[in-house]
């Protein structure tokens, strides 16, 4: 069975039904209904201002589109796949309700500049929504850091215990990553904030459209500078997906740490029952499923970026129907990163930190070995020589089954004559942390200042 094509004046044969179903995108792009109506209202007001539409026509358009928007929001709008996409569905409904004014609305406009405008509106809004979700997670981390300033644990490199650290300092590292993630989204939003509306199908239009007027009405900084670029390029979506992919990877790393720290082997945290599940066979299990699924979903977001890169990599100017495939990956990535950040924010807020296990981990693993080397270096020994002395003392401690602080002073003096009794003061983890009193380090005053700075940055963006 054939389907009547939406633009049938040129054609003598109707579109094949299977081809019609294959080409239809309304099941995906109906999500752009709000943006499509917003762009149409701005276009109509501009057409009225330049005399293409009469004042009564504008009233009819505003009335009809307002009713359609209400139905879309209520979930009662009758979407029709035979009309291909969101644009034709909205236009057909407007024409059915208000007459020929619905057909006049498309004057000077193509679906090419229409969808490019819709996607910029959606992407710009999504940058803010996802950014707010990332800020919610950052706020949860800062709040936890405020209460854990005096909680000590080892810092790790290569998954080996490295040096003494404050839990607050550790949590604030994630805040810095999230701050950069938000910054990338903000940068992308600024760069994409130009209006394609009025670019037409490929080379503009003969009608004297006031593109600056519609750009301002839609909150854009200016119209796009080139009609071919405006309708045929999707690098603004690639930039959004790249930023989302980096954010998803950072969320995955945080999720991985929650998974790792909640193991019995670490035991640094216990996730709340509300963010864990049990096993269908093993009754003792408490699985960190929320964190695991966040970690897993990051792969989808990276895949969304790759999908759109491949779609766009071979396209000539101008518009090509391949770009119909730009929406699904963008919608998926936006939803996934936003939801992942929000669920992690709730999980972080509900975590129970096992301070005793963290502190106990400081007692093993020679985490103060660097202090031994620094002690000698501060007395004038070249650091590389001091490092070698500290390494020999670690080897002696391993041989004796002791930690560095348990070795007698005589052993230290055998290793180097400059050791004195105050070496044991330097081996106290709290002393070791407090001696790291430079910007970006974990001394208590530095951490308190970092918390204040993080709170100020979040407050400046309106985050709670």
Residues facing residue 269 across a β-bridge: 353
Distance CA 241, CA 330 (A): 7
Distance CA 214, CA 197 (A): 7
Whether 279 is catalytic: yes
Whether 387 is catalytic: no
Distance CA 357, CA 368 (A): 18
Q: Which two tokens stand for residue 231?
A: 């309708």
* β 269-270/352-353 pair status: antiparallel
CB contact burial 362-396 (16+ within 10 A = b; e otherwise): beeebbbbbbbbbbbbeeebeeeebbbbbeebbeb
Which of 30, 139, 227, 279 is the catalytic position?
279
Phi-psi region of 198 (alpha: psi -120 to 50; beta: other; left: phi over 0): left
Angle at 129 between CA 277 and CA 116, to 5 degrees: 125
For 356, other C-beta atoms within 10 Å of its C-beta total: 9
For 156, other C-beta atoms within 10 Å of its C-beta total: 17
* β 194-195/222-223 pair status: parallel
Distance CA 204, CA 207 (A): 9
Q: Which long-range contacts (CB under 8 A, 24 or more apart) does 46-54 make?
A: 46/209, 46/210, 46/213, 46/214, 46/217, 47/104, 47/105, 47/107, 47/108, 49/210, 49/213, 50/207, 50/208, 50/209, 50/210, 52/104, 52/107, 52/108, 52/207, 53/101, 53/104, 53/105, 53/107
Inter-residue contact 429 to 362 (CB < 8 Å): yes
Which of 25, 110, 158, 252 is the catalytic position?
158
For 182, other C-beta atoms within 10 Å of its C-beta total: 25
Q: Which residues are catalytic?
A: 158, 279
């Amino acid at each position: 069975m054939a389907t009547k094509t939406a633009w049938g004046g040129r054609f003598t044969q109707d579109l094949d039904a299977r081809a019609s179903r294959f080409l239809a995108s309304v099941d995906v792009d109906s999500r752009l209904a709000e943006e499509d109506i917003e762009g149409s209202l701005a276009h109509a007001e501009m057409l009225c201002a330049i005399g293409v539409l009469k004042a009564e026509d504008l009233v009819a358009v505003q009335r009809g589109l307002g009713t359609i928007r209400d139905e879309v929001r209520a979930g009662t709008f009758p979407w029709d796949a035979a009309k291909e996409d969101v644009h034709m569905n909205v236009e057909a409904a407007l024409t059915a309700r208000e007459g020929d004014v619905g057909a006049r609305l498309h004057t000077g406009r193509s679906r090419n500049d229409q969808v490019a405008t819709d996607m910029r509106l959606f992407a710009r809004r999504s940058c803010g929504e996802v950014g707010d979700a990332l800020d919610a997670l950052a706020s949860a981390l800062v709040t936890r850091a405020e209460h854990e300033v005096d909680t000590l644990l080892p810092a790790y490199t290569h998954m080996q215990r490295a040096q003494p650290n404050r839990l607050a300092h550790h949590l604030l590292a994630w805040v810095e990553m999230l701050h950069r993630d938000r910054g990338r989204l903000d940068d992308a939003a600024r760069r994409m904030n130009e209006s394609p509306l009025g670019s037409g199908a490929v080379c503009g239009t003969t009608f004297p459209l006031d593109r600056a007027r519609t750009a301002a009405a839609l909150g854009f900084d200016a119209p796009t500078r080139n009609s071919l670029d405006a309708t045929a390029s999707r690098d603004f979506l690639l930039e959004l997906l790249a930023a989302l992919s980096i954010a998803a990877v950072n969320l995955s790393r945080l999720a991985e740490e929650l998974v790792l720290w909640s193991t019995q082997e670490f035991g640094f945290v216990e996730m709340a029952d509300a963010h864990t599940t049990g096993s269908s066979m093993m009754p003792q299990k408490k699985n960190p499923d929320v964190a695991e699924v966040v970690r897993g979903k990051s792969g989808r977001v990276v895949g969304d970026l790759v999908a759109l890169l491949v779609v766009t990599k071979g396209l000539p100017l101008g518009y090509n129907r391949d770009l119909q495939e730009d929406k699904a990956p963008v919608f998926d990535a936006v939803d996934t990163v936003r939801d992942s950040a929000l669920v992690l924010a709730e999980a972080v807020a509900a975590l129970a930190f096992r301070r005793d296990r963290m502190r106990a981990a400081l007692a093993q693993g020679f985490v103060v070995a660097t202090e031994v080397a620094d002690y000698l270096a501060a007395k004038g020994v070249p650091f590389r020589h001091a490092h070698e002395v500290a390494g020999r003392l670690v080897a002696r401690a391993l041989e004796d089954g002791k930690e560095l602080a348990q070795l007698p002073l005589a052993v230290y003096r055998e290793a180097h004559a400059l050791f004195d009794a105050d070496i044991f003061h330097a081996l106290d983890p709290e002393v070791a942390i407090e001696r790291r009193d430079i910007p970006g380090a974990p001394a208590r005053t530095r951490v308190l200042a970092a918390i204040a700075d993080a709170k100020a940055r979040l407050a400046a963006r309106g985050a709670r």
